[in-house]
C-alpha cells in the first residue's frame, strides 16, 4: 500500500478534491501555511495498483510535475473504508503492479554513479576470474553478488516503454561499458596471474571445469538469460527487492565475460569465441525478456501523444533484439547439435568397447573411458580414446588393437586408442 502526498497549487483545490471524489478514494486535505504558491496538501492512502490511475486523474485535474507529488510506502492502514478500496482494486489486473512513476524511480535507483558502477564491475570481474582459475564455484557466486549489472538492463527497458530517452541511453551505455570493462579487467588480471605464475605455468585453462563449462554454450544458456530478464522485470514491477534477481542476471554475464578475458590472456581464441557469444546472447536475451514483460504489464508514457512513439520504439527494439539473438543462436544451435552428436558417438564408442571385451573372452571390464575430441568450437569429432580396464592379474591379452578396430568400425573414423590396465581384487 502507498501514501500519496499531493501539494495543491492555489486555485486548484476544488479541482483536486473533485478528482479524488470521482475516483471514490478516501483522503485528507490540510491547509498549507508556508506562504508559497501552494494552498493545501492532500494525503491519500491507496492500494499499490491504484496509485497510477489516481495520479492520471490528478494530472487531468492540473496536478503535473510542476508540483510536488510524493509516493511513500505505507506499512499498515487501519480502516474499514481502505479495506473496501483494496477489495475494489483487487479485481483489477496486475494487482501487485507499481505505478509508472514508481517504476521509473525504481529503475533509476538501481543505477549506481558511474565511478561506483565501474569500480564494482572491475572488482566482480576480477573475483570471477580468480574463481574460474581456482575452479571454485563459491568464489564465482561471490563475484555475482556484488555485480551491479541489473540496473542498466532494467533502465534501458523502462526507458523504452515510458519514452524516457535519457534513461534508455544511459542504460544501454552502462551495459556496453560495463561488459567492456569486465572483459578488460578479467584479461588484465588473468595475464598478471599467468605472468607471475600464481597458477602452474603450463596449466591448460580449457581443462578447468568452471572455464570449460562456458566454452560451448547451447540453447539452455538462452533459457537462463530469458529467465533472468523476466525475473528482473517482474521484481521491478512488483516493487520488491531486486538483489537476488541481480545475482541471477550476473550469473548470465559476469562469469562468461571473465572467461573471455581468460581466453585473451592465454591467447586461446576458442575460449574467447564461445564465451563471447554466450555473453552477447545472454545480454540481448535479458533485455528482450525485460522489455516484453514491461510492455505486457501495461506500462505506457505519461502523455497520450507519446503512445505511438512508445509502441514504435518498443516494437523496433524488440525486433532488433530478436534478429540479433536469432543470428547468434546459429552458434548455439551448432553447439547443441554438436553436443547431441558427441553424446551419440560416445555411446557407440562405449558399446564397441564393451563388445571388444566380450569378444576377447576375458573377465576384463571397463572402469572408465575418456574421449578426446578436436579442439574447435563446432563440429568436434573424436580423435582419441583412453580406456581404463580392470583385470584380475597381470597375465591378460592385449586389448588396444581389438578395441581400436571395433571403435573405428562403429564410428567410421580413425582414432588413437590407449588402454590402461588396472589389476583389481575383490572379496
Q: What is the pLDDT of residue 91?
A: 60
Do both 35 and 86 map to the same domain?
Answer: yes
Task: For residue 278, tell me if it sits in a domain.
Answer: yes
Task: For residue 76, tell me if it sits in a domain.
Answer: yes
Calpha distance 362→383 (Å, rounded): 27
Calpha distance 39→416 (Å, rounded): 89
Q: What is the pLDDT of residue 96?
A: 65
- In the predicted model, what is the mean pLDDT of residues 355-375? 79
Q: What is the CATH number of the domain that holds 409?
A: 3.30.300.20
Residue 261 burial class via C-beta count within 10 angstroms: exposed 0-12, middle 13-18, buried 19 and up: buried
Calpha distance 117→149 (Å, rounded): 9
Calpha distance 294→98 (Å, rounded): 11
Q: How many CB atoms lie within 10 A of CB 421?
A: 17
Q: What is the pLDDT of residue 92?
A: 60
Average pLDDT, the chain: 83
Structural domain boundaries, residue 371: 342-423
Task: For residue 34, tell me if it sits in a domain.
Answer: yes
Picking from 415, 418, 427, 357, the residue whose alpha carbon sits closest to that of residue 381 is 415
The grid coordinates of residue 346 equal 560416445
Pairing mode, if any, of strands 2-9 and 38-46? antiparallel
Q: What is the pLDDT of residue 294?
A: 86
Q: What is the CATH number of the domain that holds 33?
A: 3.30.70.120
Q: What is the pLDDT of residue 125?
A: 94
Task: For residue 330, tell me if it sits in a domain.
Answer: no
Which residue among 300, 322, 354 closes a domain? 300
The grid coordinates of residue 20 equal 479524488
Q: For the chain, give the number of residues.
A: 427
Assess whether pLDDT exceeds 70 at residue 198.
Answer: yes
pLDDT digits (tens, 9 = 90+) for 1-26: 788 888 888 888 888 888 888 888 88
Task: For residue 315, tell me if it sits in a domain.
Answer: no
Do both 135 and 83 map to the same domain?
Answer: no
Assess whether pLDDT exceeds 70 at residue 119.
Answer: yes
Helix (H, G, I), strand (E, B) or coil at 363: coil
Q: Are 16 and 64 in contact (CB under 8 A)?
A: no
Amino acid at each position: 500500500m502507498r501514501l500519496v502526498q499531493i501539494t495543491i497549487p492555489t486555485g486548484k483545490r476544488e479541482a483536486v478534491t473533485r478528482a479524488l471524489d470521482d475516483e471514490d478514494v478516501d483522503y485528507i486535505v490540510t491547509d498549507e501555511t508556508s506562504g508559497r504558491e501552494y494552498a493545501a496538501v492532500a494525503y491519500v492512502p491507496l492500494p499499490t495498483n491504484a496509485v497510477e490511475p489516481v495520479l492520471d486523474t490528478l494530472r487531468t485535474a492540473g496536478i503535473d510535475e510542476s508540483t510536488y507529488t510524493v509516493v511513500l510506502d505505507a506499512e499498515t492502514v487501519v480502516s474499514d473504508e481502505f479495506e473496501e478500496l483494496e477489495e475494489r482494486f483487487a479485481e483489477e489486473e496486475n494487482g501487485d503492479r507499481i505505478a509508472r512513476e514508481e517504476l521509473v524511480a525504481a529503475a533509476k535507483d538501481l543505477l549506481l554513479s558511474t565511478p561506483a558502477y565501474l569500480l564494482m564491475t572491475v572488482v566482480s570481474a576480477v573475483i570471477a576470474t580468480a574463481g574460474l582459475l581456482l575452479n571454485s564455484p563459491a568464489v564465482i557466486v561471490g563475484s555475482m553478488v556484488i555485480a551491479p549489472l541489473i540496473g542498466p538492463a532494467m533502465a534501458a527497458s523502462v526507458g523504452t516503454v515510458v519514452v524516457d530517452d535519457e534513461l534508455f541511453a544511459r542504460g544501454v551505455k552502462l551495459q556496453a561499458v560495463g561488459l567492456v570493462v569486465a572483459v578488460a579487467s578479467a584479461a588484465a588480471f588473468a595475464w598478471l596471474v599467468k605472468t607471475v605464475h600464481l597458477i602452474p605455468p603450463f596449466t591448460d585453462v580449457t581443462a578447468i571445469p568452471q572455464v570449460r563449462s562456458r566454452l560451448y554454450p547451447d540453447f539452455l544458456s538462452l533459457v537462463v538469460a530469458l529467465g533472468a530478464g523476466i525475473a528482473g522485470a517482474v521484481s521491478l514491477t512488483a516493487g520488491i527487492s531486486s538483489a537476488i534477481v541481480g545475482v541471477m542476471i550476473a550469473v548470465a554475464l559476469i562469469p562468461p565475460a571473465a572467461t573471455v578475458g581468460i581466453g585473451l590472456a592465454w591467447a586461446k581464441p576458442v575460449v574467447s569465441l564461445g564465451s563471447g557469444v554466450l555473453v552477447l546472447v545472454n545480454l540481448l536475451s535479458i533485455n528482450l525478456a525485460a522489455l516484453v514483460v514491461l510492455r505486457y504489464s501495461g506500462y505506457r508514457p505519461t502523455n497520450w501523444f507519446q503512445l505511438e512513439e512508445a509502441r514504435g520504439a518498443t516494437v523496433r527494439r524488440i525486433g532488433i533484439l530478436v534478429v540479433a539473438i536469432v543470428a547468434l543462436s546459429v552458434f548455439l544451435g551448432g553447439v547443441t547439435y554438436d553436443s547431441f552428436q558427441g553424446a551419440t558417438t560416445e555411446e557407440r564408442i562405449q558399446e564397441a568397447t564393451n563388445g571388444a571385451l566380450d569378444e576377447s573372452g576375458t573377465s576384463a571390464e571397463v572402469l572408465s573411458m575418456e574421449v578426446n575430441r578436436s579442439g574447435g568450437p563446432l563440429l568436434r569429432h573424436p580423435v582419441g580414446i583412453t580406456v581404463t580396464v580392470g583385470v584380475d592379474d597381470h597375465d591378460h591379452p592385449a586389448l588396444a588393437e581389438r578395441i581400436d578396430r571395433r571403435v573405428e568400425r562403429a564410428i567410421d573414423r580413425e582414432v588413437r586408442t590407449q588402454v590402461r590396465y588396472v589389476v583389481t581384487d575383490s572379496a
